[in-house]
A and B are shown apart, each in its own frame.
Chain A
Amino acid sequence: DAGVIQSPRHEVTEMGQEVTLRCKPISGHDYLFWYRQTMMRGLELLIYFNNNVPIDDSGMPEDRFSAKMPNASFSTLKIQPSEPRDSAVYFCASRPESGELFFGEGSRLTVL
């Protein structure tokens, strides 16, 4: 298996633009997590899904952030409109029912 695949690896955009980050979890993994990493706040859990259903989105900063998982092999994290303070590395991770959490390589977002 290729591991958790995220795209794009790097995104530079202007304030106000819509940003969509994508994730393909490892096949067979029941749980998918979106994290945000910044120097100030470290690694923060934004939302996680179980069998494509959002379970806990209490970490989503505000209504500008939304996440979907239309099927077991794909998830998106959308920011609309983006702001400079959203600049961070966004990680997707997946795991089976009982087992290790695997991270993707991350998507580095810069909002100018």
Chain B
Amino acid sequence: GEDVEQSLFLSVREGDSSVINCTYTDSSSTYLYWYKQEPGAGLQLLTYIFSNMDMKQDQRLTVLLNKKDKHLSLRIADTQTGDSAIYFCAEKRAGSYQLTFGKGTKLSVIP
């Protein structure tokens, strides 16, 4: 299977919470990241979590990490139309300088 897996699509109503899930395979991952890509643009780092943490909150964003299950999630509270984008999960493995990305989850926000 893929090293980093995400579902490809998610659709939510404006004002609801969005939860984007990701699973990874390498237990040596040191950092896990969420990137956002808007149409026609590059990827921008949204947030990241160190592997010895299980939760990180940053305004409307909450990252949860279950290291035992190798599961990462990104929750966006009060989702807005401006949150419509592709969200990429990525992992950085110990001793590596590169990131391994998932294929991205396209979030569509319905007004």
Taking Cβ atoms with an 8 Å cutoff, the residues of A that contact B are 4, 31, 33, 41-43, 45, 48, 50, 55-56, 91, 93, 100-106
Contacts and interface: CB of A to CB of B under 8 A. Distances in A.
Interface of B: 40-45, 88, 97-104
B101 A50 contact: no
A104 B101 CA distance: 16
A43 B42 contact: no
Contacts of A45: 98-100
Contacts of B103: 41-43
A8 to B, nearest CB: 14
B97 A43 contact: no
B102 to A, nearest CB: 7
29 contacts: A4-B42, A33-B98, A41-B103, A42-B101, A42-B104, A43-B43, A43-B88, A43-B101, A43-B103, A45-B98, A45-B99, A45-B100, A48-B98, A50-B97, A55-B97, A91-B42, A93-B42, A93-B43, A101-B99, A102-B45, A103-B42, A103-B43, A103-B44, A105-B40, A105-B41, A105-B42, A106-B40, A106-B41, A106-B42
